Each structure stands twice: as C-alpha cells, then as structure tokens.
Structure 1
Amino acid sequence: MSMASHFLKKLKFVFIQVIVLVIILELFSFVAIRWFHFGLPPKVYSTQFLPFFVDNDKTFGVWHYADTTTRHIGPCWNVEYQFNSYGARDDERQKVSDKKRIVFLGDSFIEGYGIDKEKRVSDLMEKNMNMECLNFGVSGSFGTTQMRLLYESKAKEFSHNAVVLSFFPFNDFLDDNYEFGKSFFYTQRRYRPYLVKDSTKDYQLVYHVDALEKSQAYPDSIPKRTAKDLLNDIYYSNRGIVGKTGALINNFTYTGAMAEFIVNRMKFTQSGTEQTYKSDVFSQKNTDAMDLFCHNVNKIKEMAGNKPVIVLLIPHPLDLMEYKKTGKSLLRDDLNKFGKSANIHVVDLLDAFAKLENPGEYFLPCDGHWSEKGNEFVAEVLQKKIQELNL
C-alpha cells in the first residue's frame, strides 16, 4: 500500500469519526432541548414556543394568549405556562361562585415568573386556605395603571371577597411613567396605557402607540423568521467568516442552539455582582409617582366597594441590601400613611424579608424574582393578613 493510499484511508477514518460525533451531538442536543427543554430550539424551526406575553388587549395592553400552553426558559428556570379561556395563567374559573375568593392583581411576581404554577403564592394559598385565589398577574412591564384597568375591565366581573395587588417599586414607578415609556427601547413601541395630568391637573388616559396593531409586541408583529430570512441575515451581516459560520450553526442545528444557551447562561451568572448595582428607590421620595400609585389604588378600592384591598409591598434583593444598611425607608413609610388614611391594608415584605437570616435563598439565583422558597414565605405572610381580616 502506498503512502498516499494509507493517508487517504486514515483521513477517511477520521472523517467518519467526526461525522459520527457530530450526529451523536446533534441527537443528544435534540433530546436535551425537545424532551428535557434544556434551552430553546434553533431559530430555523417555526414551531418554537409562543411568547408568554403579548400586547393583545385594547384596554390594558399586555396580556396572554387564551387557551394556550407555552414554555418559558431562562438562565436558571425552565417552566411550562398554561393560560385559561380568558388568558390568565390560572385554572378555569366561573364568574360566579359561592366560595370565598381573592383576586390577585400584579406583575411577574404574581404571575409566577420562572416558577411552576402550583408553587406560586396564589396556588399555595388556595391549597392552604380552602379559598379560591384568582391569578391575574402578567409580565411584560405591567404597572398599577394597567392593574386598575385590568380589574375594571376583566377581574371584577368574577365574584370575590378581597383584592390583593402587588407593588414592586423597583420598576413599577417607571412602568407608569409616560415620558420614560416613550424613550425606553423595551416600551417605546408598545401599546401601553398611561395616566398623564392635563392643564387642569386631572389625570387623562393616553396610549403613546395609538393602535394595538402597531405595537411591537402585537401577536402579528412578532417576526416569523423563515430559513431564507435567517440565511439572508447571516449572509448580509457584518460578521467575518468565523462569525457567520457560528451563526449558521446556532440558528440551524440543535448542537449550536444548546451551546449558545450554555454560553449565555454562563455569561449571565458571571456578569453583575452585588457590588456593581444598587437600588435607592425605597430611600428616596418620588411624590409624583407615589401620587399616581395612590390614585390607581384608590380607584381599585372604589370599584371593590366594601371588599378589603391589600397592597403587597415587594422589595428587590438590592432594596434589601440598602435597607439593611440604613434601617429606613421613606417610600415604605409613605405607603403606610396612605394605607391608614385610605383604609388600604399594607403587607410589608421589605421588613419581612430583611428579618430573614439568608434572604438570598428566597430569590431565584440568577434573578430578582421569588424562588419556590420565596413564594412559600410570601404565602405564609399574606395568609396571616387574610386570616386577620376574617373574610
């Protein structure tokens, strides 16, 4: 056998090994993603999971697809979301019931961001208290103006005995800020309601995108990328040959999609430490934002009639760090004053979390939302308040 023939035979053997390895990696990645949901499928497949929130409600903007199931995958969570016939992440509910019921209004904390449904605050309380807890929480920049409109247009149609609404100052003030909403890339082309004072200092409801269909998060506006679109994007991009090859692998193979997911997760967990960021929202006075918050809560109270309204004051882990240093919170004090004057019940989670020995365990390790343990703790705290009210 000549040296050339020997070399070709060896090259063929190595080539076959590489092909077998590639096939094994692709099969392994396919199983990991499709069966165990370890990451998202490659973009070329049109059967990717639906977004878990969209701008599809003409009154309050962001909501969910009705009667659908999707999956939310993040840096440290992988959760299936199911939405009922009216678009809530909740069991199917009848509008009229002879059971005692609580309506939950709020953002991602109430919706159960990154948490299985049965491990959320509302589901835990329903199980422990033998009382139906209707969950109307939704992610996607959801402030108190939207909570009020959701209650008015949807939630109050369901018989209930009390209302619980979340207040997360870390971003709720900005969610209700019209000027910020127009400038922030995440919301500037979203269909969102805002309350803005006119020349007479009265609040007027405005939408800075004048039609639901013009929203960047409207279902039909979410781009549906075909294989041809993806190839064109890669070909005409400014990347070099290495970058284009990587993009091709990531967008068209399960191996690339899983590798990209792992790399992004590692980057996420390594970026940003407690020393890098801080939050001072609880230590500062924001009179205009607080006035708007109180206005919306008062409107909910008016619509609720004699039903108790409970405000759940939610801190971010960064808020807890600042609070432990000073022991003071101007915002919390203002909220308590408002609660007493308006007959609104305030549940102070800032103080409750600060008393814990290791509060970090009560939040997701890669995110500021509650972990399973955090949901259990909040459910216990809130349950005590509900029992005091003797609904």
Structure 2
Amino acid sequence: MSYTNKSSKLRLILLGTVVAMMILEAFLKLVSVKDLWGISRALTGEKLTDCVARDRQFHHKLMPNCNGVIKTLDYTVNLATNSLGFRDEEINKKKKDYRVLILGDSFAEGWGVEVDDRFDNVAQEVLTARNKKTEIINAGVRSYSPILALTLLKDKLIDFDPDMVILIFDMSDLHDDFYYGGWQRHFDKVKEIDPGWSAEIEVWPPEYTGLKQILMNSEAFKTVYREVGTSFLNKKHKLTLTNLSWDISLFAKAQGWENFDKAWNLNIANILLMSHFLDQKGIEFAIAVVPRGIYVSDSEWGRGREPLGIEKNKLYEPLPIEIIQKALSIRNIKTIDLYESLGNSGKFPLYYGFDGHWTVEGNRIVGEVLANYLYDI
C-alpha cells in the first residue's frame, strides 16, 4: 500500500472516530447513563420509567399527578403521585400534628409494595393506634442521594414546616453522590447554606485536575473513560473518583479495599450539611441506614447479586453501616437502627430476590421500628 493510500485511510479512520464521538456526545446529552440502565432493564420486561421526567436541577423527578406502575422481575405495584410529584397523599401546608418528613431513594419511595403497605404508613397506623398524634410525609424519590435530598429539602420542602426530617440512607448513595456532582456540588451547596461552615472531613478522593478535568466536560469522554477505568481499577481493587462515580455496587465489592472507609466521606459531609441546615431552622434530624439484604442473610437478595458482581450465598459484614453510624454518632446525629430488627426478625424473605427492595414483611418491620422511635420522642 502506498504512503498516499495509508494517509487517506488514516484520515478516514480519524474522521470516523471524531464523527462517532460527536454522535455519542449528542446522544449522551439527551440520554444519561442512568436512563440507559432503565432502558436495559426494560428489555427484560421491567417497567421503571412511568411518571419519570428529566430535570436539570435534580437529574430526574417524578411527574405530578401521574399514574403508572413500577414493574420488576419480582413484582408490579401501582404508582400514583400527588401534585408535588411524590408517591403520597396531598400535603396540607397547614399542619395539625407533629410533622415528620421522610427523604431518600427508592427504599423511601417504597418500591416493591403498594403505598398502604409502605413502612411510613405502617408506622402511621401503629402511632395512631397508640394515640400518638403524628403526621408522616413521604417525599422519597428513586435514586435520590443525600445531596439531592438536601437540595429538595432546601428548595421545595422546608416551607411545609416539618418538625423532624428523617433521611433513609441507602448503600447505593455511595455511588450516587459522586455521580450527581461529587465534592464540587457539596461545596456549592455549602456556599448556598452557610459559606462559613465546614464538614471538617477529608476531601477524598481528590477531584480531577488539569486536562482530565477539562475532558470530563465531554459526556462521551467521561462515559468511555469511566467504563474502561472502572474495569481496570476494580481488577486492581483500587478506589478512585472514576469507579466510585460509575460502579453502583462498590459498597459491597470494595469492602476490604484500601481507603474504603474514606470513600464514604462525601456522603457523610452531605449528611452533616443537611443536619447543619436543619439545626439553623430548629428542626430535628435523624438518619436510618438501609441494611441491604447481603448484611441480613446469606440468602436474601439472592438472584440480584450476581449481575452486580456481588457474591452469592455470602453474609457480608455490615461495615458500611458501622462506618456511617460511627461517623454520625461522634457528631451527635441521631440514627435509627434497622439492622438489628431486620437481621433478628427470623422472617424470610424481607427483600425481593432480584430487585433487592423490602418486601411487605420487610416494610412492616421497618415501619414498626420507625413507629417506636417516633413514639418515644
């Protein structure tokens, strides 16, 4: 092959690569990786996108006054939202009783059960039976991590005058807080709430700098870099910003890796900021850490582990729960212990086999724990 032909072929390859990257960039501007995850699950017959809309501030939200279903390989449940876009009854701004606001992700939203069987309504029934006047509002939205919950609280829900806020913290929040903006978004939120405040916790892992930081503005580059980098880093058992913002199952797979405890610093910082914001308003705050099924039994969440690279038939040590609760305890933030009650219930299953969310029985146990906590206030 002549030099001219080789040169022409090389130019065509480069041009094709550039065009492909431009197409990928445009596509990813319209469809996020989390959207692709939902689409891939839809191919298996699941239906996870009813009433979901993209949102510039929150990444996504539930549409107001919408009806649909949540369908997984384990269950199909109804989905109905109120005028604010939450899976709950309408909220009256004028409160009559002690008002509790629930924030969190799909565990808070109640995937896997009808609303009447969800933990907050179980708690409401128990408290009513005990003549404890309490109103529980559930504003949980799938995949909402602490930084999104704080944004929702500050910008939209604080006007409903809650007496207490309870954050349902899920293990997948380890990934989500990095995915939704990382440390930079945390510091931006600090500037909004109290520029003089600091979480006084190590910023780890460090943010991208230099050329890599510039290239990360490209959705195409970011997607390819994180996909390739995560595969390499996971094989090396190394945690960095790359795989923490890409692999949703590192809360389990990375136990025992170096710096695993530091990986939770961003979550802790965002929770501390939420606590500080509520302290300024004179509102009580507590956090309930969701123990995934792998910490409760070697057989819970059985079929759903393998696709995520989590070992089957293994009872994992509750290390993430211990890390979070210890960090909050030394800072005098109240926690609601779900781990002991779920682990010692003697009931099975408490979690769906593939989907991994609480079953009706799991929600009942969590609801009773919540009711006992609120009754003693």
Q: Please give the range of the TM-score, normalised by the shorter of the 2 chains.
A: 0.5 to 0.7
Q: Distance in 2 between matches of 1:282 and 1:103?
A: 32
User: Which amino acid counterpart does residue 165 of structure 1 have in structure 2?
Assistant: L
- 1:314 pairs, out of 267, 285, 290, with 290
- 2:338 pairs, out of 349, 352, 374, with 349
1:297 is aligned to 271
Quote how far apart the aligned CAs of 1:355 are. Answer: 1.6
CA contact (8 A) 2:102 2:139 kept: yes
Quote how far apart the aligned CAs of 1:150 are. Answer: 1.2
Structure 2 residue 136 is matched with structure 1 residue 136: no
> Structure 1 371/282 Cα, relative in aligned 2: closer, same or farther at 3 Å?
farther
Q: Distance in 1 between matches of 2:289 and 2:337?
A: 5
Q: Distance in 2 between matches of 1:70 and 1:347?
A: 32
1:155 is aligned to 157
2:351 is aligned to 363
Q: Distance in 2 between matches of 1:304 and 1:89?
A: 24
Give the 3-state SS of the residue equivalent to 2:139 in structure 1: strand
Q: Which has the larger radius of gyration?
A: 1
CA contact (8 A) 2:294 2:316 kept: no
- 1:85 pairs, out of 83, 87, 90, with 83
> Structure 1 387/210 Cα, relative in aligned 2: closer, same or farther at 3 Å?
farther
Q: Distance in 2 between matches of 1:329 and 1:318?
A: 9
Q: Distance in 2 between matches of 1:327 and 1:345?
A: 25
CA deviation vs aligned residue, 1:123-180 (integer Å, no higher than 9, x gap) = 22223224211111111x32111111111112222111111111112x1101112xxx
Quote how far apart the aligned CAs of 1:209 are. Answer: 8.0
Give the 3-state SS of the residue equivalent to 1:334 in structure 2: helix
Tell me the TM-score normalised to structure 1 length.
0.58
Alignment of 1:204-243 (within 5 A): none
User: Which amino acid counterpart does residue 300 of structure 1 have in structure 2?
Assistant: M
Quote how far apart the aligned CAs of 1:118 are. Answer: 0.9
Give the 3-state SS of the residue equivalent to 1:137 in structure 2: coil
CA contact (8 A) 1:109 1:370 kept: yes
Question: 159-168 or 342-351, which moves further after superposition?
Answer: 342-351
1:338 is aligned to 327
CA deviation vs aligned residue, 1:205-245 (integer Å, no higher than 9, x gap) = x9x8899xxxxxxxxxxxxxxxxxxxxxxxxxxxxxxxxxx
Instruction: Please list every run of 5 or more consecutive structure 1 residues that lacks an aligned counterpart in the other structure.
Output: 1-39, 182-191, 212-276
Q: Distance in 2 between matches of 1:77 and 1:143?
A: 24
Quote how far apart the aligned CAs of 1:340 are. Answer: 2.2
CA contact (8 A) 2:294 2:314 kept: no
1:166 is aligned to 168
CA deviation vs aligned residue, 1:283-309 (integer Å, no higher than 9, x gap) = 666344321112111111122223321
Q: Distance in 2 between matches of 1:61 and 1:111?
A: 17
2:228 is aligned to none
Alignment of 1:269-308 (within 5 A): 279-280=252-253, 286-305=260-279, 306-308=282-284
Structure 2 residue 61 is matched with structure 1 residue 63: yes
Q: Distance in 1 between matches of 2:116 and 2:151?
A: 27
User: Which amino acid counterpart does residue 87 of structure 2 have in structure 1?
Assistant: R
> Structure 1 345/373 Cα, relative in aligned 2: closer, same or farther at 3 Å?
same
1:36 is aligned to none
Q: Distance in 2 between matches of 1:93 and 1:163?
A: 15
Quote how far apart the aligned CAs of 1:50 are. Answer: 6.3
CA RMSD of aligned residues (A): 3.6
Q: Distance in 1 between matches of 2:255 and 2:375?
A: 28
CA contact (8 A) 1:283 1:330 kept: no
Quote how far apart the aligned CAs of 1:67 are. Answer: 1.1
Quote how far apart the aligned CAs of 1:101 are. Answer: 1.0
Q: Distance in 1 between matches of 2:174 and 2:146?
A: 9
CA deviation vs aligned residue, 1:85-131 (integer Å, no higher than 9, x gap) = 11111100122313211110000011011210111011222232242
Q: Distance in 2 between matches of 1:159 and 1:147?
A: 16
Give the 3-state SS of the residue equivalent to 2:361 in structure 1: helix
> Structure 1 334/65 Cα, relative in aligned 2: closer, same or farther at 3 Å?
same
Q: Distance in 1 between matches of 2:283 and 2:162?
A: 8
CA contact (8 A) 1:282 1:319 kept: no
Q: Distance in 1 between matches of 2:170 and 2:146?
A: 10
User: Which amino acid counterpart does residue 265 of structure 2 have in structure 1?
Assistant: D
Q: Distance in 2 between matches of 1:114 and 1:153?
A: 29
User: Which amino acid counterpart does residue 279 of structure 1 have in structure 2?
Assistant: A
1:9 is aligned to none
CA contact (8 A) 1:59 1:150 kept: no
> Structure 1 209/59 Cα, relative in aligned 2: closer, same or farther at 3 Å?
farther
Number of residue-to-residue matches in the alignment? 259
